């Protein structure tokens, strides 16, 4: 565990700490054992996917979100696409627009093919649309976006709104 209270997986993904993971409590009396009605599942915390190749920014986002959300960080769009293609559900997705290899625009295009509802709800983080393609992309999509450097309160507000609209995970 890092000094920040975050566990790192071998894939570089920030996972919830053991304390934060959903657990099941089982109770029972010695005479009757444990019954299905005795199992109480704690509610699942909303899960946010952060996609950014800037490690320091991604970790800062994880820290800002961690009091209220389980946060998974991917350092590239391809690894995020792999997670989403496997059917992992996230209540909100924050995605950097400009990344090497596959960028946020390419990820959005791929998700639009396999999960259009997910693509429509992405929140983009941008340091400025520096290419004509990026400017056109941001002009033509209705997705929320935050300009870097962004106000943390605004970020949390957008995530809260998105989580409130998210369909419950299966």
- Give the pLDDT confidence score for residue 39 in this predicted structure: 55
Contact 51, 77 (CB under 8 A): yes
Residues of the chain with pLDDT under 70: 1-42, 129, 166-170
Question: How far is residue 50's CA from residue 82's CA, in Å, rounded to a whole number?
Answer: 14
Residues 51-64: tens digit of each pLDDT: 999 999 999 999 99
Question: How far is residue 54's CA from residue 157's CA, in Å, rounded to a whole number?
Answer: 22
DSSP 8-state class, residue 40: E
Three-state DSSP class for residue 48 = strand
CATH architecture for the domain at 7-15+45-165: 3-Layer(aba) Sandwich (3.40)
CA distance to 15, 36, 48, 106, per residue, from 163 (Å): 18, 30, 9, 24
Contact 49, 92 (CB under 8 A): yes
| Whether pTM exceeds 0.85 | no
Cis peptide upstream of residue 149 (ω within 30 degrees of 0): yes
Residues 87-104: tens digit of each pLDDT: 899 999 999 999 999 999
């Amino acid at each position: 565990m890092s000094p920040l209270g975050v566990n790192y997986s071998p894939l570089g993904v920030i996972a919830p700490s053991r304390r934060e993971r959903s657990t099941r409590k089982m109770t029972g009396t010695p005479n009757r054992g444990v019954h299905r009605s005795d199992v109480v599942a704690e509610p699942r915390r909303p899960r946010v996917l952060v996609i950014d190749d800037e490690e320091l920014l991604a970790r800062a986002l994880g820290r800002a979100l961690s009091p209220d959300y389980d946060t998974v960080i991917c350092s590239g769009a391809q690894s995020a696409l792999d997670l989403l293609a496997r059917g992992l559900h996230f209540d909100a997705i924050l995605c950097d627009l400009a990344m090497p290899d596959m960028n946020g625009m390419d990820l959005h295009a791929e998700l639009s093919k396999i999960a259009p509802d997910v693509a429509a709800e992405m929140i983009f983080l941008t340091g400025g649309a520096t290419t004509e393609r990026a400017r056109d992309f941001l002009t033509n999509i209705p997705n929320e976006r935050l300009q870097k450097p962004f106000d943390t309160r605004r970020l949390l507000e957008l995530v809260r709104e998105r989580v409130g609209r998210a369909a419950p995970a299966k």
